Amino acid sequence: MVKTAKTASAAAETGEAWHSLDIEKSLRVLDSDRNTGLTNEQVKERLHKYGSNELEETAGRNSWDILLDQFKNIMLLMLIGVAFVSGFLDIVKLQQGDLKPGEVPFKDTIAILLIVILNGVLGYLQESRAEKALAALKKMSSPKVRIVRDRRTLEVSAKELVPGDIMLLEAGVQVAADGRLIEESNLQIREAALTGEAHAVEKEADLHLGEDTPLGDRINLVFQGTEVVQGRAKVLVTNTGMKTELGRIAEMLQSVESEPTPLQQRMSQLGNVLVTGSLVLVAVVILVGLIRTGWNFATFISLVEVSLSMAVAVVPEGLPAVITVTLALGTQRMVRRNALIRKLPAVETLGSVTTICSDKTGTLTQNKMVVQQVATVKQKFQVTGEGYTPEGEFILEGKSVNANHYPELQTLLLACVECNDAELQCEANNAPGSNGGNWKILGDPTEGALLTLAGKGNFQKENLNQQMPRVGEIPFSSERKRMSVIVKDESESLIENSANFILFCKGSPELILQRCTYYLEGWQNAELTENQRQEVLEKNNQMAGKGLRVLGFAYKPMDNKPSGELNEDQLEQGLVWLGLVGMLDAPRPEVRDAVAKCKNAGIRPVMITGDHQLTARAIAHDLGIAKEGDRVLTGQELQKISQQELEQEVDQVSIYARVAPEHKLRIVQALQNRGKFVAMTGDGVNDAPALKQADIGIAMGITGTDVSKEASDMVLLDDNFATIVAATEEGRVVYTNIRRFIKYILGSNIGEVLTIAAAPIILPMGGVPLTPLQILWMNLVTDGVPALALAVEPAEPNVMKRPPFNPRESIFARGLGWYMVRIGVIFAILTIILMEWAFTHAQGYGDPDRWKTMVFTTLCLAQMGHAIAIRSNTQLTIELNPMTNPYVWGAVILTTILQLMLIYVPPLRAFFGTQVLDFGELMICLGFSMLMFVWIELEKLFIRWFGKTRS
What is the DSSP code (8-state) at residue 255?
P
**DSSP element (H, E) containing 364:** none
Helices (H), 350-431: 407-418
C-beta of residue 203 within 8 angstroms of C-beta of residue 223: no
CA–CA gap between residue 390 and residue 241 (Å, rounded): 40
Rounded Cα gap, residues 215 and 712, in angstroms: 29
From the CB of 520, what's the least distance to ligand ATP, in Å? 19
Is the Cβ–Cβ distance between 767 and 846 less than 8 Å?
A: no
Total of chain residues touching ligand ATP, rule CB under 6 A: 18
At residue 95's C-alpha, the angle toward residues 91 and 96, to 5°, is 120
User: Min. distance of Cβ 597 from ligand ATP in angstroms?
Assistant: 21
Bridge partners of residue 374, in order along the sequence: 381, 581
The set of residues, in sequence order, having a beta carbon less than 8 Å from that of 400 and lying 6+ positions away, is 393, 394
Q: Is 515 in the site for ligand ATP (CB under 6 A)?
A: no
The distance of closest approach from Cβ of residue 625 to ligand ATP in the complex, given in angstroms and rounded to an integer, is 12
Residue closer to ligand ATP (CB basis): 242 or 511: 511
Residue (616 or 775) nearer to ligand ATP, CB = 616
- 90, 108, 178, 359: the catalytic one is 359
482, 515, 676, 866: residue in contact with ligand ATP (rule CB under 6 A):
482
Stretch that binds ligand ATP, among 210-218, 441-449, 516-524, 723-731 (CB under 6 A): 441-449
Please, are residues 220 and 151 in contact by the beta-carbon 8 Å criterion? no
What is the total residue count of the chain?
A: 951
Q: Using alpha carbons only, give the angle 422, 428, 432 rounded to the nearest 5 degrees.
A: 125
Told to check if 682 binds ligand ATP by CB under 6 A, we report no
* Comparison of 126 and 609: residue with beta carbon closer to ligand ATP: 609
Q: Give ∠ CA 68-71-72 in degrees, rounded to 5.
A: 95
> What is the enclosing helix (H) or strand (E) of 189?
strand 178-190
- Asked if 719 is part of the footprint of ligand ATP (rule: CB under 6 A), the reply reads no
Does 611 participate in binding ligand ATP (rule CB under 6 A)? Answer: yes
Q: Which stretch binds ligand ATP (CB under 6 A): 256-264, 356-364, 409-417, 892-900?
A: 356-364
In the complex, what is the shortest distance from the CB of residue 551 to ligand ATP, in angstroms, rounded to a whole number? Answer: 5
Position among 359, 572, 710, 921 found at the interface with ligand ATP (CB under 6 A): 359
Q: Are 240 and 10 in contact (CB under 8 A)?
A: no
Residue from 26, 213, 326, 609 in contact with ligand ATP (CB under 6 A): 609
Q: Is 355 in the site for ligand ATP (CB under 6 A)?
A: no
Residue 635 as a binder of ligand ATP (CB under 6 A): the answer is: no
**Applying CB under 6 A, does 613 fall inside the site for ligand ATP?**
no
Residue choice 245, 418, 423, 447 for contact with ligand ATP (CB under 6 A): 447
Is residue 481 near ligand ATP by the rule CB under 6 A? yes
* Residue 775 burial (10 A CB sphere; 0-12, 13-18, 19+): buried
Is residue 483 near ligand ATP by the rule CB under 6 A? yes
Least gap, CB of 147 to ligand ATP (angstroms): 21
Question: How would DSSP label each residue in 575-587?
Answer: EEEEEEEEEE-PB
In the complex, what is the shortest distance from the CB of residue 533 to ligand ATP, in angstroms, rounded to a whole number?
17
| Choices 166-174, 262-270, 478-486, 914-922 (CB under 6 A): range interacting with ligand ATP | 478-486
Return phi, psi of residue 544, to 5°.
-65, -35
Alpha carbon distance 676, 668 (integer Å): 9
* For ligand ATP, the closer CB: 395 or 442: 442
- Which of 138, 159, 342, 506 binds ligand ATP (CB under 6 A)? It is 506
Report which secondary-structure segment, H or E, holds 248: helix 245-248
The DSSP 8-state label assigned to residue 287 in this structure reads: H
Site membership for ligand ATP, residue 444 (CB under 6 A): yes
Stretch that binds ligand ATP, among 325-333, 608-616, 760-768, 898-906 (CB under 6 A): 608-616
179 binds ligand ATP (CB under 6 A): no
DSSP letter, residue 365: B
- H or E stretch covering 144: strand 144-149
| Radius of gyration of the CA atoms of the chain, in A | 36
Among 32, 508, 705, 782, which residue interacts with ligand ATP (rule: CB under 6 A)? 508
Q: Cβ(676)–Cβ(602) under 8 Å? A: no
Q: How far is the CB of 664 from ligand ATP (least distance, A)?
A: 9
To the query of whether residue 918 is one of the catalytic residues in this protein, the response is no
User: Given the DSSP bridges, would you call strands 178-190 and 200-202 parallel, antiparallel or unpaired?
Assistant: antiparallel
In the bound complex, which residue of the shown chain has the CB atom lying closest to ligand ATP?
A: 610
Question: Measured from the CB atom, is 624 or 767 closer to ligand ATP?
Answer: 624
Q: Does 664 bind ligand ATP (CB under 6 A)?
A: no
Q: How far is the CB of 215 from ligand ATP (least distance, A)?
A: 33
The bridge status of strand 696-700 relative to strand 678-682 is parallel
720 contributes a contact to ligand ATP by CB under 6 A: no
In the list 478, 491, 498, 532, the residue contacting ligand ATP (rule: CB under 6 A) is 478
379 binds ligand ATP (CB under 6 A): no
Question: Minimal CA–CA distance to 654: which of 365, 363, 367, 356?
Answer: 356
Q: Between 107-140 and 63-70, two packed helices, what is the crossing angle to 10 degrees?
A: 140
**Please, are residues 815 and 950 in contact by the beta-carbon 8 Å criterion?**
yes
**Minimum CB–partner distance for residue 378 and ligand ATP (Å):** 23
- Residue placing its CB nearer to ligand ATP in the complex, 321 or 356: 356
DSSP-assigned beta bridge partners for residue 146? 155, 168
Over the window 527 to 556, marking each residue x when it contacts ligand ATP by CB under 6 A and - when it does not, the resulting string is ------------------------x-----
List residues binding ligand ATP (CB under 6 A): 359-361, 444, 446-447, 476, 478, 481-483, 506-508, 551, 609-611
Residues with active-site annotation: 359
